[in-house]
Structure 1
Amino acid sequence: MKVSTSHRNKGALDPKNFPYSDITFVCKHYGKPRIRGVNERPRQSYFASGCNVKLRLVYVEAMNNYKVTVLSTEHNHPISSQAFGWYPENRRLEDSELKQVEDLLQLNVDIRNIKNFVSEKTGKTVISKDIHNIKKNLDNKMSKGRSEGQKVVDRLLKLQQDDPNATTVVEMSSDDEFELLFFQTSNMKLLYNQYPDVLFIDGTYKVNIEGYPLYAFLIEDGEGKGRAVGYAFVKNEKKDTIHKLFDHVGAKNDLNKVKIVFLDKDFTEISAVKRSMQNAHIMLCTFHVLKYLKKKVSDLDIRKNLKSDIMKAISSLVYSYSEEIYRERLTELLKLSPKSFSSYFTDNWDSCREMWAHCYRKSLPTLGNNTNNRVESHNQKLKHIWDGHVI
């Protein structure tokens, strides 16, 4: 119920208890629903649904009390405690509850989990839009009108203040355009120096509002867990940019310690690793090798069953456990395949077989790794908790 009309009771005998000469209460859904025009006010909500529930009280001086003059009790909509909880005024959080939600948002807790937390702690029903509104207000409060670029600079300055041994590198072009940003905390440096043998590198997208690719550098620690040892944003993935990035990484870390580097089959990354980590063996992720070759085979204009046979031959080639078996299976694959694919495979894959065939890596210190899944899983988690804004 809500107050529809009221008038002050100036001549009441007891104005404290009877402040109104008359007051009318109506249901929140009282009145005729407004009909919107086409494409007009598309986001404005109305509660009026034609409900006629109404209560009018009039002050009677002789009684020194209120008298009911109008009473209508028939709702035209569902009424329940659950429905009552959905109204905006009942979903509104107290200051202390709002502070808890803001703390959870700053920790990047999933919105669904925040809704469950609020329900358990307060008994209130909040919707996703409520949490998004709180987050928007929090972003505005924290940003204080700063641009995303200004917030990044502020964060880097704070990182250097809190962690004097951290590394932050920002490179700008000659026309003052952003090129790359590399940062590494002192703890990341320590982890790299402790476990430099195997390095996982991968770029990912859609993690910042500017659209810059993010590169993550991971190692495997003594407990077999992937640990980040550096991050970089780059303006693009052109050869010059990636080479500059690896130069900065090498300037702050002894890359001669790296024995194994896991990559996808990205020629720019491969050339950068060969240039900056000359002692390292490059290992291509088995998952991406098979995925890439499956796409190539699927594009061939041949029978479906032959495509299946070629993929089986490729898979057995990838998992060959000796060089002799590799050569035998390569011969089988080339016999099965059309001439165009045989030439393609020989030129582009057999020529770098040490990077992807398992028989050539069994004596190397890969720590049991054959894929880049550690860094890919890491990047997925980053996307899950990070909306791309710097707070």
Structure 2
Amino acid sequence: MDGTYGVTTVGFSLFHLLCEENKRESQPTTQYFTKTETREDISEFLCLFSENNDVSVTKVKITDKGCNEIAALEKYFPGTEHILCLFHVFKAVDSRLNQKVGDKALTQTCKEDIRERFRNAAYEETAADLKLKKRDGQGSLAAYFRDNWFTIESKWTKLGRRHLPTFGNGTKNLQKRSLY
């Protein structure tokens, strides 16, 4: 599931569901325009879809970290595994690394080091190797990683998703290509 924001001059968002088949081909299944992006609106869209389709065959759902999308999908696609799009995970981390705390900013070298460690953590094959990438630290940046990412590592690390039928795809980008 993905949302494309501000696609019209009147500010509607377009949500769409894409399904990836065994042949790694993406098929758009449904689209929904909405003026607001509330959990209720997204739930209405998914309710209509689930009433007309067998959602029990769905194994994996992939989203960005939008809380309204995730909550609505949990309601209408129960029992499916939820993972996060790695593109959006890395984008969120980059955004946080570029934020100033007070009047202090990270140096470019520091940002690159953190970014590389985090991206390497995403592709670790063993729990021991992933643990080595986690560092205890003090301050708001350490808390950001500890509280926002390492509490849900099964949703964004290769280690956490290796048992899922993702066909090696860790982002929504492959699915999105079918729209263009």
Q: TM-score, normalised by structure 2?
A: 0.89
**Equivalent residue pairs, number:** 176
After superposition, what is the alpha-carbon deviation per residue over 1:150-195, rounded to whole angstroms, capped at 9, x for unaligned?
xxxxxxxxxxxxxxxxxxxxxxxxxxxxxxxxxxxxxxxxxxxxxx
- Calculate percent identity across the aligned residue pairs: 26
**Separation in structure 1 between the aligned mates of residue 96 and residue 41 of structure 2, nearest angstrom:** 28
* SS at 1:262 equivalent: strand
Q: Alignment partner for residue 367 of structure 1, among 145, 167, 175?
A: 167
Larger mean Cα displacement after TM superposition, 219-228 or 237-246 = 219-228
Does 2:64 match 1:260?
Answer: no
Higher RCO (C-alpha under 8 Å, 6+ residues apart): 2
Say if 2:111 is the partner of 1:311. no
Q: 2:131 aligns with which of 324, 327, 332?
A: 327
Partners of 1:344 and 1:206 lie apart in 2 by: 29
Is the partner of 1:351 in helix, strand or coil? coil
Q: Please state whether the residue corresponding to 2:152 is helix, strand or coil.
A: helix
Larger Rg: 1
Name stretches of at least 5 consecutive residues in structure 2 with no aligned partner: none
Which position in structure 2 is the counterpart of 1:247? 47
For residue 145 of structure 2, what is the aligned residue in structure 1?
345
Separation in structure 2 between the aligned mates of residue 284 and residue 203 of structure 1, nearest angstrom: 14
Pick one of 283, 292, 304 that aligns with 2:83.
Answer: 283
Please list every run of 5 or more consecutive structure 1 residues that lacks an aligned counterpart in the other structure.
Answer: 1-200, 382-391
Q: Distance between the aligned counterparts of 2:8 and 2:95, measured in 1?
A: 29
TM-superposed CA distance for 1:302, in Å, is 2.6
Give the Cα–Cα distance (whole angstroms) in 2 for the partners of residues 277 and 369 of structure 1.
20
Correspondence 1:219 to 2:23: no
The amino acid across from 1:231 in the alignment is Q
Offset, 1:222: 4.2
SS at match of 1:230: strand
| Aligned residue type for 2:147 | D
Task: Indicate if the aligned counterparts of 1:202 and 1:375 stay in contact, CA closer than 8 A.
Answer: no
TM-score in terms of structure 1 length: 0.43
